[in-house]
């Protein structure tokens, strides 16, 4: 089951998403987290913390969960 993450802007960055989804405690942890864990966006691996996520994007983090961005 996908957990919905609601945004009220056109997009958020992957780093912002990780904090919003309570995957990390602070924005400063994003770079470390992405270097240590696999993150898949719409089925493709991506480690760029500046990657823009828009409504409808699906984020999968093995061992932590499946998320979908909703506006």
Does 14 have pLDDT greater than 90?
Answer: yes
Does 71 have pLDDT greater than 90?
Answer: yes
**65 beta partners:** 61
| pLDDT reported for residue 27 | 87
Tens-place pLDDT, residues 16-66: 999 999 999 998 999 999 999 999 999 999 999 999 999 999 999 999 999
Does 1 have pLDDT greater than 90?
Answer: no
Specify the pTM.
0.92
Q: Alpha-carbon distance 52 to 69, whole Å?
A: 11
């Amino acid at each position: 089951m996908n957990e919905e993450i609601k945004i009220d802007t056109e997009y958020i960055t992957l780093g912002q998403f990780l904090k919003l989804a309570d995957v990390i405690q602070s924005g400063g942890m994003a770079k470390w987290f992405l270097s240590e864990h696999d993150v898949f966006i719409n089925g493709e691996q991506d480690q760029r913390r500046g990657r823009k996520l828009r409504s409808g994007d699906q984020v999968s983090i093995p061992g932590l969960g499946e998320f979908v961005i909703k506006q």
